[in-house]
Amino acid sequence: MVEDLRLDSLEGVGPVTTRKLSDAGVHNVMDLIVRGPVEIAEITGMEKDTTEKIVNKARQHLVEGGLIAKDFVSASEIYKHRQSIGRITTGTNCLDTLFDGGLETQALTEVYGEFGCGKTQFAHTMSVMVQKSKEEGGLEGSVLYIDTENTFRPERIVSIAQAHEMNPEKVLDNIIVARAYNSAHQTLILEEAGPIIEENNIKLIVADSAVGLFRSEYLGRGTLSTRQQKLNHFVHLLSRIAETYNCAAIATNQVMASPDVFFGDPTRPIGGNVVAHTSTYRIYFKKSGKKRIARMVDSPHHPEEEVIFALGEAGVIDPEEAEKKTKKTTKKATAKKTKKSEVETTVETPEVETTVETPEVETTVETVMEIESDDFEPLEE
């Protein structure tokens, strides 16, 4: 491990350069890699030749310390490296199956879906699960939660922690919440996050929602390209941070109704291609009565599959858990001599059965992808 990540530990980086860099929000060697030479030249006013040299030195320094991979590596080394990627359990069997063991570190996972489909609940649940011991499927790490919609609820964290028999106060202490007020602020939080991630053993970064502020600030088609450019910067930064600092990252993205769609699901992810291209994994959440469907849409190595999950006091839960709860409620209701007909409506959840078989989901996602590419001009990387 490299003990010294201070900027002046790099050969040729003296106090003047160190000050220039830290004034621009680049605080350590990791930050140099995350931001890259072009951006560093832009924000510090330094020559690009110089910043390239500095960033190369930083890369060498981290490679020597075993913190990042070499530029040229054999496939077997990559394979070995991938074995060391951390996984965070979702606390459910169904979603763990979908994620092939859990949410991965060094990757950006985009969760998109309509309002109320459980994106925020999922982010809350993962904020608790990442703190579990390694034996229990966690990473014993903390969380940086970027809340752009003011929907972070400590009360939910408390009940999720209690449901998993964890100490709620400790769990709350390990979540650093950054409330972002506008898209520039949201980006700034991430740009400044390096030292916080390092000092607090952050293993999960949440951006909920990653896209909302950009969308509300850049309205109309004329501003689309600027919006996508800025969003591109944010999402790339998030992805690079996840890779460099070995943490998991979740970006949520809403879908919106598209009136020009006649078949399938008339929705598409707001972030468009930018988020889709940058994220390593994309999960589509869809409401289905009281249950939810999660589908792995885009992954370099997972099959395109889907599972059913539910939402409850414990955050995201297995559908069987939800059924047990319903039965319990039913029993209580019967004890109270509630009218038979009422009870039956609660117990029976026929919607779920039908949804599993429906081919609509298939068409849905495809439609989403198609429309998305029609509607958003892809940005040049």
Ligand X SMILES: Nc1ncnc2c1ncn2[C@@H]1O[C@H](COP(=O)(O)OP(=O)(O)OP(=O)(O)O)[C@@H](O)[C@H]1O
Site residues (vs ligand X, CB under 6 A): 113, 115-121, 151, 254, 311-313
Assess 120 for contact with Mg ion (CB under 5 A).
Answer: yes
The option from ligand X, Mg ion, none interacting with 12 (CB < 5 to 8 A, set by class) reads none
CB of 7 within 8 A of CB of 21? yes
In sequence order, which residues have a C-beta less than 8 Å from that of residue 25 and are 6 or more positions away?
31, 43, 188, 191, 192
Assess 367 for contact with Mg ion (CB under 5 A).
Answer: no
**What is each CA distance from 4 to 28, 59, 67, 226, in whole angstroms?**
9, 14, 12, 38
Range in contact with Mg ion (rule: CB under 5 A) among 21-29, 144-152, 302-310, 323-331: 144-152
The option from Mg ion, ligand X, none interacting with 37 (CB < 5 to 8 A, set by class) reads none
State the minimum distance, in angstroms, from the CB of residue 121 to Mg ion: 8
State the minimum distance, in angstroms, from the CB of residue 178 to Mg ion: 16
In the chain, the amino acid numbered 228 is Q
CB of 376 within 8 A of CB of 272? yes
Determine the distance from the C-alpha atom of residue 297 to the mean position of all C-alpha atoms in its chain, rounded to a whole number: 15
Nearer to Mg ion, 120 or 127 (CB): 120
The option from Mg ion, ligand X, none interacting with 313 (CB < 5 to 8 A, set by class) reads ligand X
State the minimum distance, in angstroms, from the CB of residue 78 to ligand X: 34
Determine the distance from the C-alpha atom of residue 230 to the mean position of all C-alpha atoms in its chain, rounded to a whole number: 18
The option from ligand X, Mg ion, none interacting with 278 (CB < 5 to 8 A, set by class) reads none
State the minimum distance, in angstroms, from the CB of residue 101 to Mg ion: 25
Range in contact with Mg ion (rule: CB under 5 A) among 60-68, 73-81, 151-159, 198-206: 151-159
Residue 24's SS3 state is coil
Nearer to Mg ion, 117 or 231 (CB): 117
Which DSSP symbol is given to 141?
-
Nearer to ligand X, 66 or 116 (CB): 116
The option from Mg ion, ligand X, none interacting with 254 (CB < 5 to 8 A, set by class) reads ligand X
Nearer to ligand X, 34 or 308 (CB): 308
Assess 127 for contact with Mg ion (CB under 5 A).
Answer: no
How many C-alpha atoms does 285 have within 13 Å on its Cβ side?
Answer: 26
Range in contact with Mg ion (rule: CB under 5 A) among 148-156, 176-184, 198-206, 282-290: 148-156
Residue 254's SS3 state is strand
Map tokens 């074995």 to a residue.
83
Nearer to ligand X, 51 or 355 (CB): 355
Adjacent-strand bridge partners of 147: 179, 208
The option from ligand X, Mg ion, none interacting with 232 (CB < 5 to 8 A, set by class) reads none
State the minimum distance, in angstroms, from the CB of residue 283 to ligand X: 12
State the minimum distance, in angstroms, from the CB of residue 207 to ligand X: 12
Integer Cα distance of 283 and 294 in angstroms:
6
The option from Mg ion, ligand X, none interacting with 116 (CB < 5 to 8 A, set by class) reads ligand X
Integer Cα distance of 98 and 302 in angstroms:
8
Query: What is the sign of the dihedral through the CA atoms of 208, 211, 214 and 218?
Result: negative
Residue 121 sits at the vertex; the CA angle it makes with 278 and 213, to the nearest 5 degrees, is 50
CB atoms within 10 A of CB 239: 20
Integer Cα distance of 240 and 279 in angstroms:
10
State the minimum distance, in angstroms, from the CB of residue 269 to ligand X: 11
The option from Mg ion, ligand X, none interacting with 117 (CB < 5 to 8 A, set by class) reads ligand X
Contact residues toward Mg ion (CB under 5 A) are 119-120, 151
